[in-house]
Structures are given as C-alpha cells and as structure tokens.
Structure 1
Amino acid sequence: MLESMLFAAIYCLVGIALLTMGFVVIDLLTPGRLGQRIYAERSMSAAVVVAAEFLGLGAIAFTTIWTNGAGGFGAALGWTVAFGVLGIALQALSFVVLDAITPGSLRAMAVERELHPGAVTAAAAMVAVSAIVCASIA
C-alpha cells in the first residue's frame, strides 16, 4: 500500500510539472502575464483557455497511466512524461494554427476580460487535440 501511495505521489508531481509546463507555453503565446490576467484582471477568456488545457493534459496523463500502469512504474512514468510533453506541443500548435487561420488575434482574444467566443474555440481545440492524443495511446 505504501508503494502504491508513493507511486501516486510521484505521478501527481509529474502531472503538476506537466500542467506548469503547459501553463508556461500558453503564457508565452498570449500577451501579458497569464496569471495576472486570470487572478488580478479576472479574465474569463484566459481562465477558460487554461482550464481546457489543464483538463486536456490531465486526461492525457490519466490515459497514459491507466494504459501503461501494468507494464511497471518506470515505463508508465516515462510514457506519461512523453505523451504529456507531446500533448503540450500539440495544444500549442493547435493554438498557433487557429490564430493563423482566424480573423483578428486569437492570442489577444484568449486573454480578454469578458468571455470571448475565440477563447472558447481555442479551449475546444485544446480539448479535442488532447482527446486525439488519448486515443492514440496504446
């Protein structure tokens, strides 16, 4: 039981690291400081985009652990990191592509104070990309 609790704690720490990496990437893609936009300026758009990113990355980590856990802790942890980093990269790519093919600046829309439809679209793209990554885990 203690070993399982240790594994759970390590998986959680890796998950937190992945969420942090994802947050930093989105922060680099959007104007201003994302934390400031969410917590001080109360940007609903930024909160929705980050929430979708976190849910997507959590789903990727869950699916990877669930699918590979029987293969041993080390292997499952390695696959979790690999697919998590892949998810972050693909979420960022989807954000950049969507920004390029839509009118206006999705980067700016994603951090507007009021909830912007562009932010909801970006959030949906992140969840969709994450679902595709989850489906590819075997």
Structure 2
Amino acid sequence: MNDLLNALLHAIVYALVSGLILIVAYYVLDLVTPGHLGSHLHGTDDSGKASVHLQSRSAALVAAAWMVSNALVLFTAIWTNGATDLGWALAWTVSFGILGVALNAAMLFAIDAVTPGNLRQIVCEPGPVRPLAYLASATALSVAAIVCASIA
C-alpha cells in the first residue's frame, strides 16, 4: 500500500511540474512569435472580435508541435528516471524540460534565419497552413527526438 501511495504522490508532483513547464513553453512560443499567439489561434482582431478568417492554422500547427515536442521531452525524462528517488528524478525532469523549451526557441530562430522571409511572421498569418509551418513543426519534433535520445 505504501508503494501505491508513493507512486501516486510522484504522479501528482510530475503532473504539476510538467504542466507548469508546458505553460512556460507556451508563453515562450508566444514571446518568439509576433503578436499574441492566443489571438492568432482564436482568430481575434485588435478590438477582440473573433473571426474564423483571422485564425492562423499555421500557428496552430506550430503550437501543437511545440507542445507535443516539449511533452515528449518531459515524458522521456520521467520515464527514464521516474523509478528513482523523486529528488534527482524531478531535477532531471525540470532540467531537461527547460532545456527542451530553450532549444526549441533557439531552433525556431535558426530556421527563421536560414529560410526566406520572416518565418515567425509567416506562420502567424491567417488562413491555411503555410509550408514553412510544416518546417517549423518538424524542427520542434526533431529537437524533441534529439533531447529524448540524450536523456536515454
């Protein structure tokens, strides 16, 4: 019974810490994209009026890939270290979670630098998914794969 309670406590702590890191990841993406990311996703103008024509499907794709990427890093850190004492395993999870967010931001800037136009601006434009959004999404998932491999 003690093992079950201990495992439940670990699950709660990991869920809360991972949730906080994912919230930070969203806000970092919001900071590195022009405008307010929530407005691009929801499709609101400066006055707050919503319109489906203002929604950016590209921003939604990039944000979704960004969140999955960071969640994969957190999952891998927990999966590989979760059976150990909560202290060091939690430190690994936080450290690699923050590293994943930082590397995703750095790679978004790097891809923006080597592609024509302003990638960060283009992926926030309203309308259908732009080809550069696929590249930005694939880059985020690639960063996750690399960080996950380094954890394992």
State whether TM-score is above 0.5.
yes
* CA distance in 2: counterparts of 1:42 and 1:8, whole angstroms: 36
Picking from 32, 35, 55, the partner of 1:32 is 35
Aligned residue identity for 2:143: V
* CA distance in 2: counterparts of 1:64 and 1:29, whole angstroms: 25
Matched, 1:69 2:82: yes
* Aligned ranges 1:14-53 → 2 under 5 Å: 14-40=17-43, 41-53=54-66
Q: Deviation string for 1:81-137 (max 9, x for gaps)? A: 000000001000100000011000001112122211111100100100110000001
Which structure has the highest helix share of the two?
1
Deviation at 1:6, TM superposition (A): 2.0
Q: Give the equivalent residue in structure 1 for 2:51.
A: none
Aligned residue identity for 2:131: P
Question: What TM-score do the two structures reach when normalised by structure 1?
Answer: 0.95
Q: Give the equivalent residue in structure 1 for 2:11.
A: 8
Matched, 1:116 2:130: yes
Picking from 116, 119, 135, the partner of 2:149 is 135
Deviation at 1:12, TM superposition (A): 1.0
Higher Cα Rg: structure 1 or 2? Answer: 2
- The runs of at least 4 consecutive aligned structure 1 residues that moved more than 4 Å come to none
Q: Give the equivalent residue in structure 2 for 1:55.
A: 68
Q: Which moved more, 1:1-10 or 1:18-27?
A: 1-10
Aligned length: 138
Q: Aligned to 2:83, what secondary structure does the other structure show?
A: helix
List gaps (5 residues or longer) in structure 2. 44-53
List gaps (5 residues or longer) in structure 1. none
* Aligned ranges 1:70-89 → 2 under 5 Å: 70-89=83-102
Q: What's the Cα RMSD here?
A: 1.1
Question: What TM-score do the two structures reach when normalised by structure 2?
Answer: 0.86
Residue identity (%):
46
